[in-house]
Every structure is written in C-alpha cells, then in structure tokens.
Chains A and B, each alone.
Chain A
Amino acid sequence: MRVPLSWLHEYVKPDLDAAALAERLALTGTEVERVVHHGVLSVEGFVIGRVLSAERHPDADRLNVCRVDLGGAEPAQIVCGAPNVAAGQTVAVAQPGAVMPDGTRLRKAKLRGVESAGMILSEPELEIGVERAGIMVLGLDGGKPAPGTPLADVLPLATDVLELEVTPNRPDCLGVYGVAREAHAATGAPLAPAPWSEDVGTGGPVEGAAVAVETDRCKRFMARVFEGVTVGPSPPWLKARLMAAGMRPISNVVDVTNYAMLLTGQPLHAFDLDRVAGGRLVVRDGQAGDELETLDGERRRLDPEMVVICDADGPTSLAGVMGGARSEVHAGTTRVLLESAVWDGPNIQRTSTRLGLRSEASGRYEKGLAPEQAQDALALATRLLVELCGARVAPGTIDVDPPGGRDRTNRTIRLRDARVSGLLGAPVARERSAEILSALGFLVDQADDGLDVTVPAFRRNDVTREADLIEEVARIDGVDKLPATLPASGLAVGRLTPAQRLRRRAADTLAGAGLHEAIGWSWSAPELADRLRLAHDDPRRAAVVVENPMSADHAQMRTTLLGSLLDVARRNVTHGTGDVAIFEAGAVYRPVAGRELPDEPYTVGVLLTGAVRAPSWREPAPPAADFFAAKGVLAALLGALRVAWALEPAGEPFMHPGRAAAIVLGGADGERIGWIGELHPSVAAAWELSGAVAAFELDLDRAIEQVPGPVRYTDYTSFPEVRQDLAVVVPQAVAAAEVVAAVRAAGGPLLARVEVFDVYRGAQVGADEVSLALRLAFRSPERTLTDEEVAERRAAIEAALAEQVGGRIRA
C-alpha cells in the first residue's frame, strides 16, 4: 500500500517528517517497508508560463520556437517539440537549473542552432500523469494562474510516499483514510472528518436499473445510476495522486472509482449502463460453460466456485476481481451504473489464485471488508462523479443483501483494567485506554472495572475479544515501553532429557572422530530406490509422498539418509574435495499402515570416501577409507554410548556383497538397527564416486534405548589381571567373531576381556587358513588368580577352539 504523504496530510498532519512518522507507525503496528520520494526532488525552477507565440523552427519541422511569458520583464525563448503547443496556452515550464524527477539538471541549450531557455512540460516528465501525446495545457484563455506562479502552487509536484506492509487483519489500512486514523491514534495529531460524511445521493428505489443477488458469497451490493456523464481526462491533481499512489490514470470515471478505493479501501466498479443488457444485473455463482472476457482482454473460463455478475446476455463482470470488457466504460459512455459491493474474502482469494489474476480490488476483498464500507465509498464516488465528470446522480440507491442476510454484528466487549495490566505486566491508565480506543474509532463507555468498548464495523473481523482490545491499547501506548522482566518460574527446572544428551554425545563423538556434520534435504527422488537397487518389496520403497513438491527430485520424504549423504559426497568430490568424511543425524520418514502420521526415527548415517587422513611427509599416501575405517567410526559411536553391539554378515542391495554387515544390538541375534559396509561399485559410480565408499546407517533412538543407566564402579585395584596372548589357526571361513565367541564362552566369568590384535594369512599357515592373535585378560573380583586356575581356563579355551571352530593353537 503506497500512501502519498501529501494526500495523508489532508486528513492528519502530525508534526513529524516522513522518516519519523514511518518509525512511529512501525512501532505501533503499521509496518513501513520504506519511504520513497515521488516527483521532482525540488520545486525550484518550475513555474507557470503563458505561450505568447509558437513558430516553426527554421531548421526542424517538428520543433516550435516559442516565446513564453514567465512573469519576468522579458519572455523566455523555449524550443518545444510537442505537436499541440500553441499561442495562448497556460503551460508548466521548467527553467534552467531545475532538477527533473530522474535527477537531470536542466541547462540552457541550443536546439538546431536556436537557443532554448527551459522546457515546456508534459505529464510523464513530472510523473503526474501518463499522457505522452503532448505538453500539459493548464488553460487557454489567460487568467489564473498567472505567469511566474510557482508550479508547486498549482500542481502536486513532489511528495514522500510511505510504502506500508499491511498485515492481513487490517484491511481498513488499505485506504488512505484508514492509515490517517492510525496516524491520528499513534501521534495524537487531529483527524479530519471522513471524506464520505457528506452524501449528495439519495436513498430509495432506482428507476432504470436493478440488481438481484442470488449467492451468499456476495455480502452486500450497492449501486447508483449516473446520467449525462462526460468521459474525459481527470484533472491534474487527481492524476497526480493516483500516480503517487502507484496507479495509472485512465479516464475520469475510472479514476474516480480508483481514487475512492485508495481513499476508503473499498473497491468500486463502473458499468456503462447502456451496455448492461436489460438494465438488470444478477449476481450468482458460476455455472459450467460460463466464460467472460475481462478488462485485460483475456478470455476467462469460470467455475462454480467463482461469483459472476450477469446481465441479460450472460456474464459481464468477474465479481471482486475484474470487470468485463463488454460493459466497460468507454469514451462515449453517458450513463454509468456504479457498483460498490462487498464479497466473501476467501472466495475472492481462491478465484484470484485459480485464475492467476490479482488486482487492486481482489487484494482488498480477499482480506474481508465490512458491508458498511460499501456505503462510504459510494457516497464519496458519487460526489466526485458529479464534480468531475459532469454527471447527474439519478435518485435512489440500489442496496441488496445476500439471501442469508448481511452481517450486522455490533459487538461490545468489556475491557477490564486488571486484565490489561495482568497481560502486559505494566498498568495502562483507564483514561489512556479510552483515549487510544476512541482515536481508533471504537465507542467507549465507562464500566465498574474498566471500559465497555464497541467495535466499529471496519474492525469487526479483527477485534472480537478482550485480548484483541488489550493489543490495541498496548500497541498504541507502546510495547517498546514495557519493562523487561523474567517469569517467576519457580517450578521449572530446565534440562535436556537423557536421550537428548545422548544424541548430542553421538554427534560429538562423530565430530571428534574427524567427521563433518551435513544437513541434507528431508526429501528424496522416487528414483533413489532404483539407484540403490532396492528390491521391489523393500520397505524403504514405501515413502511419504509429497503432493505438491518443489521439484521431482523432492517428491517424497526420505526413507534412508544414504541418498543425501551420497549427494553431499558427489558435490564435494566434483568440487575437488576428494576426501570426504561426513555424517548426518535426523529423521527418516516411514509410513505406518493404518496411521495418519509416519514414524520419524532419529537416524544417524556416516559416509567415508578417499583418504582417512590427510597425507603428510611421514605418510605421503594414507590408506583409503574402507569397511574397517567405517567400523572403527561405528565402534567409537556405540562405544561412546556404552551399548553392546555386534556385526552379522548380511548384504544390502546397494553394497559390496563381500563387505557388508548388519549392525545388531547386544550379541549375535540381537535386534538389527542398521547396516554397514562398502558401497557396490556400480552404485557408487551412479554418484560419480570411483574409489571405495564406506558407510553405515543406524536407528540411533533404538541404540539409545539400550544405553544402560548410571555405570557402576568396578574394582580394578584389589586383584591384578593376568594377561596372555594366544594364536589360533582356523579355516578362512570362520569369522573372527565366532572365534571370540567360543573363547568367551569357554573362558567363563574369569575371562574379563578378549580381543583380536593381529591377523595373519600366508606361508606359515595353510592356504585356506587364517591365524588370529588374541589377547586374553583373566581377572577375579574376589581373589588373586593362581597360575593353575589360569592354566585351566586357557586349556578349556584351547579345547573349545579346537572343537567348535576347528582351531589349532600356534606355538
């Protein structure tokens, strides 16, 4: 909403410059996006002139050499290119030194050898109109304004303009007078009476025109008939105001409707009554087959959700959005039917969205206007049509309510003093509340414990409760004045839950292990499942589908983090960062049969590719990330959470078949919470990744559920540990975990720890054998172990290895 300050000043004139007024409005709830200047930067050098003579330029057919009386002793010689310049005209002149709106400073010039001391002006040159055919002619027959009169005394040459961002609850501020009311309340400057308070029209029935309203989507339809209308250009002041407010002047009749809309916030539409077939309008919902050519020349197909205004020949106007070409006011129009109607806001918004057609009118209607506003705008426009278009207003006013009746709610709300201070945390005097509410147009009566406040029609939708009144008082009195206090939150103890702290610990562990956290999109492409070679019945194919995605790549919610991790890896490798170690922690989305909302398990994904460390002079070629690099990260992660876990060989369709495992909680046969492995080379290649790509993904919430409570202290000082190494040769097919499990079982409770610390394949063992070196630690919490006890356990372990995994002890 553009509000020219010069226009606003007709109704309220606070003693503040544009910037100060903008700040005051911003701090009372009317956001000012910016203050711009419209028109010339300075009025210096712009004067009234009278053309004394205009003669053909000796060397140019299209130029005239004029002698122009500017009020000085000698007339000025000005060369003018306009075809309409003629002796006797009163014109607008820019003298040398004047600065035009675009910033250029006018100088004396020679045009084809003839001196020119200034410029006779056209409307666009002053940004006060759009007539490009010639200069502005302000009079023909001498008289006032006299030559030499400052042009600014005659025409609005310059004004600051406030560009407001009006919140959707305040359609009353989509009119200059509504903004004036706000400025009045915000600054205390007096407010002039509403420009519609005087109505030259009359009530009662109208002859020669009729309106029927058949839909409740019309909230009120008012209209008047005007005769003897002379369509022509609007006076300069009117054109200038429209220009400053951001609208193009068209013709006096149309300009009056726009002017009244800009001032009242209520749109109007003028029909050429002679082009309303049958002289009768019917307002109804659209029907199949309805079509209409709107004023912009587009042919529109209507639907039953749209409201259309029809005459005897069918649709002739699209209600609330745009008039129809067929009944448009034109140069020869003499009879006008002026519509001032109110429409259902959401319906107008839908129509405007559906047709991709936004207008000044629809932008106002969609916020929901009060039916009473129709009366105001009609009164204002009636006066202007009579004054500016030579029209006679026919007796009577058409005023039709919808079948369901018109909203006449007249709400009175009690505003309790105690509630004001209780909600704000600081008191506001009752007199001050009354002053503020009155200034905003509310009616205020005293009550025992506060005020009884009656809401004006133009705030009916917005102010319905005591809290709404408190907001009105608070914003005008100044929320910036409130003290800064803290709630007395005696019972509130702030803390993270154990699960939240463990999520943080998990992320910290991964970051500490050298990984960077990425944040990917929650969406994925439906093709991801194919690129990951998921089986047709893989549960990860069942995704939450977005009905209106921004792009096909984001058409569903992700069911795995792997897609976005691969995207991030590809992006970095393509941009020259070949060594990538990243993780993401966040939701994946799994539809659940029979439930409205999906599961959103908190999942962690890790991806490693390229060197595990930066090369250095000690290690010019550090190893590339592989399965065991990822497993090391996994061990660090689950170790930090202190959950027991294991891997079971198990494939995923997107993984290297020999380097893949399932992550299980507890020991073997525990709950599967994820996968780990190296990606299948052809899957990696689909993301342009050539080396090994190691990754894992697991459901962190399920891991966290297994995190034990507070760790209990274990005595480690009283009885020493006995450590022994053991080398066992087993067939290649035996997994290290099976060996460890056999050792653990045979070692019994005295075996405190066992771990694999070396792996050997080669000449010293058989071709299909592998030698594992194990470190054993025996301990008892109750006594120092004897050599015999340890030897006995070791013998049991050796026997178990031979028996269960075909192991033989290496000397």
Chain B
Amino acid sequence: MIERIDALRGEGEAAIAAAATTDALEQARIHYLGRRAELPNLLRGVAQLPPEQRGAVGKAANVARKALEQLIEARGAELAGAELERQLAEDRIDVTLPGAPLPPAGGLHLLNATRREIEDVFVGLGYTVAEGPEVERVYYNFDALNHDPAHPARLRTDTFYVADDVVLRTHTSPMQVRAMEQHPPPIFLIVPGRVYRRDSDATHTPQFHQIEGLAVDEDITLSDLKGTLLAFARAIFGDERQVRLRPHFFPFTEPSVEVDVSCFNCKDGLTREGARCPLCKGTGWIEILGAGMVDPNVFGYVREHGYDPERIQGFAFGMGVERIAFLKHGVSDLRLFYDNDLRFLEQF
C-alpha cells in the first residue's frame, strides 16, 4: 500500500513537472487529485483497512496529497505568469499613434488677458478696480475733466454722440470724477474698460480699451507717478526696463507727461543685427501712455466730496490696452483684435 502511494506521488510529481500549460496542469490535477483519482480514493478507503495499517497509510497518503497540491500550486503560478507574459507580449499597440485628444483648450482674448495682467500689477500696488458706464454724460467725459467748451475732442467728427449731452465715453477718465464723488481721499483706483473714438485705420479702431489710474491723497507727487509707472513697466515688459517722462499737454492734468519705456527689442535703438530697431524707430524709447498730476480744476468739481485742491493732490494716467498688447506680442494691425479669427485667438 505504502509502495503504491509512493509510486502515485512519483508519477504525480513527474506529470506536474511535465505540464507545459495551465490546461495540462489541470488535467494532471484531475488525474491525481480529482474526485475519481486513486490517491484521494486511497485516503477515503483508509477506514476499511485493518487498524494497524490505518495510521501509516493514512499519513503517507495525506503527505503525498499535500505535496502534490503544493507542487500544483507552485507550478500553476509559474505557468500563469509565463502565460500572462506571452499574452502581454502579443498585446502590442502602435505607440506612435496620436494620443486621445483632451477637450481642446480655449482661452481668453489677448486684450482681456492683457487687461488682467495689468490689473494684477496694480492690485499688487494697492489699487482697487472699478468699471464705469460706457455710455457717459458729457459732463463726466469732458466738462468735469476741464475740457474747454470748444475742445476739438468734443466735435462730432471725433466723438460718438447718442444725445446732445450723452456720448460713448472717449476715455476711461470720466470714472476719475465719478469715483471721487463716491469716495473721499485717499483713493487708489484703476478703471479698465471699453472706450470709443471716431477713428479707423491700422493703428486706430473706433472701439478700444483703456486702463485709467488715479492716486489721490495729500502728498502724492509727480515722482510717485514715475515710480509707480516704473513698477508697472517692469512688471509688464521686464525687470530691466526704465521709464522716461516727457512733458506734454492734457486738459485734465497739470503738469502733464507722456511716458516712454526703454525699448525691449533692441539696445540703444539698434537690433542685434545692427539694424535700426523697428519698434522704437531707433530712439531706444517707446511711448506707452499719458499721465500727469490731476488738474486743480478737476478737484474743483468734487471739492465738496473732500477734494480741496489746496490740500489734496495726486496723479492720473491712462493707457491703451491694445497698445500694450500690440507692443508685447507684436500684433501688426490693431484691427486683428476685433476680427476674432480663431487662427488669431488660438495663438495666445
């Protein structure tokens, strides 16, 4: 009996080792350990043996069964691993095909992206942001900004009118007066928004965007304007930039200046190739905005709101968002901003 068990174990071990697939291994398991196999039957038949044989035979059969079970498990894991590898090796993809596209990224219009960039600079400098009405009273657009009654900007050739005393605002400056009517000093404010002038060519669109700035307190100086715009220019155009003030004339500031930023496209007016820089036209400076100290006459319109021109002073500036975007991104024709061609919009 014992011999038979040993023989079965030996046959079983050989069959398990010889099984080349998980299917063959399963056949071997059924043959040696299955319901009808000899070894389990021997175990089941132990009870019929004489009592003196029962212990030895039962033990031997049990040991043999467990040994075979372990071998099957080990061999099964081995075969399954090998078969998985074979399967995976056959499951080959063309890794050079394009990836599955994500939903395509959209984007903000370059003008609004630029507007945000500028807003964030001034928010960082302590300014709040306000918008004003685009359809505006002549009073705020011209009168309270110290425009002479005969100022040419008031002409219907220059400004859109919707009524005798209502215009499409020609600048974001009307919000200066509105803001001062609503808030006593100090005031640190920027006003982004759409403005309108009757002009249309490669460098003018009848609708464009400005950002107005207003800083008013008891001791704000022209030097503060310079420092503020220097910080702005460096944030937008790079840390190496310088700014230069040139005296100019605007009705609602006195003194008035135009502000140039040192050209970021060249060195001293010459490109790397030694040609005259097309951006600054060889001057080394690019005009970016107009500014000045708020004219006392403007404070005169809001005197009763806490703006005594003898006690209060400050600066204002106004810049064109199109111009900043055009300079920074090399957009050659301002009308491109309003064509909204996706081939343009997708570039930024």
Contact = CB atoms under 8 A, between A and B. Distances in A.
A642 interface: no
B226 A571 contact: no
B123 A495 contact: yes
Interface string A500-533: 1000100110111111111111110000000000
Contacts of B249: 29, 167-170
Contacts of B217: 487, 489
A485 B227 contact: yes
Interface stretch (B67-75, B81-89, B150-158): B150-158
Contacts of A617: 97-98
B126 A493 contact: yes
Given A424-B222, A544-B135, A167 B341 contact: no
A556 to B, nearest CB: 9
Contacts of B100: 616, 618
Nearest to B199: A550
Given A353-B157, A550-B198, A614-B104, A492 B224 contact: no
A318 to B, nearest CB: 19
B134 A425 contact: no
A520 B341 CA distance: 11
Contact of B152 (A167, A168, A510, A568): A168
A493 to B, nearest CB: 7
A571 B342 CA distance: 9
A549 interface: yes
B215 to A, nearest CB: 6
Contact of B123 (A426, A483, A494, A616): A494
A280 to B, nearest CB: 31
Nearest to A421: B221
Contacts of A577: 341-343
A488 interface: yes
A468 B103 contact: no
Given A28-B247, A470-B255, A550 B219 contact: no
Contact of B106 (A345, A517, A548): A517
Contacts of B343: 575, 577
Nearest to B196: A522
A596 B123 contact: no
Contacts of B246: 26-27, 29, 31, 479-480
A492 B108 contact: no
B330 interface: no
Contact of A548 (B161, B224, B337): B161
Contacts of A518: 109, 340, 345
Nearest to B109: A517
B275 interface: no
A31 B247 CA distance: 9
Contacts of A484: 223, 226-227, 230, 243
B207 interface: yes
Contacts of A470: 254-255
B247 A519 contact: no
Contact of B254 (A468, A613, A616): A468
Given A346-B149, A349-B150, A425-B221, A600 B134 contact: yes
Contacts of A586: 194
A522 B169 CA distance: 12
Contacts of B200: 550
B157 A496 contact: no
Interface stretch (B28-36, B41-49, B111-119): B111-119
B133 interface: yes
A469 B345 CA distance: 48
Contact of B112 (A426, A493, A507): A507
A572 interface: yes
Interface string A346-364: 1001100100000000000
A510 B296 CA distance: 45
- Is chain B's interface secondary structure helix, strand, loop, or mixed overall? mixed
Contacts of B244: 27, 480
Given A170-B249, A495-B128, A507 B108 contact: yes
Given A422-B219, A549-B160, A577-B343, A596 B196 contact: no
Contact of B135 (A346, A349, A497, A598): A598
A596 B107 contact: no
A475 interface: yes
B313 interface: yes
A31 B339 contact: no
Contacts of B333: none
Interface string A410-449: 0000000000001111100000000000000000000000
A688 interface: no
B247 A489 contact: no
Given A345-B150, A471-B256, A548-B161, A167 B248 contact: yes
Contact of B188 (A27, A489, A596): A489
A752 interface: no
Contact of B338 (A479, A482, A519, A618): A519
Contacts of B78: none
Given A484-B223, A485-B223, A613-B101, A600 B125 contact: no
A587 interface: yes
A465 to B, nearest CB: 6
Contacts of B277: none
A342 interface: no
Contact of B133 (A350, A600, A614): A600
Contacts of B105: 511-512, 514
Given A170-B249, A518-B340, A571-B339, A486 B129 contact: no
B228 A616 contact: no
Interface in A577-619: 577, 580-582, 586-587, 589, 596-598, 600, 613-614, 616-618
Contacts of A479: 222, 226, 245-247, 255, 257
Contact of B340 (A519, A548, A589, A618): A519
B156 A548 contact: yes
B17 interface: no
B188 A494 contact: yes
B345 A522 contact: no
B223 A597 contact: no
A685 interface: no
B346 interface: yes
Contact of A486 (B148, B224, B313): B224
A614 B152 contact: no
Interface in A525-584: 544-550, 554, 557, 568, 571-572, 575, 577, 580-582
B95 interface: no
Contacts of A548: 156, 160-161, 198
B326 interface: no
Contact of B227 (A350, A486, A546, A582): A486
Contacts of A520: 338, 340
Contacts of A26: 246
B248 A31 contact: yes
Contacts of B264: none
Contact of A349 (B137, B152, B247): B152
A491 interface: yes
Nearest to B149: A346
A488 to B, nearest CB: 7
Nearest to A30: B247
Interface of B: 97-98, 100-101, 103-109, 111-112, 116, 119, 122-129, 133-137, 148-150, 152, 155-157, 160-163, 165-166, 168, 186, 188, 194, 196, 198, 200, 206-207, 215, 217, 219-224, 226-228, 230-231, 243-249, 254-257, 293, 295-296, 313, 337-343, 345-346
Given A467-B255, A580-B342, A613-B104, 9 more contacts: A27-B246, A468-B254, A482-B226, A487-B215, A512-B106, A516-B346, A519-B109, A519-B340, A598-B135
Closest 5 CB pairs of A and B: A425-B223, A346-B150, A425-B221, A29-B247, A475-B247
16 contacts: A27-B246, A167-B248, A350-B150, A465-B296, A480-B245, A485-B227, A492-B128, A492-B186, A493-B126, A513-B106, A517-B107, A522-B168, A545-B162, A547-B162, A575-B343, A616-B98
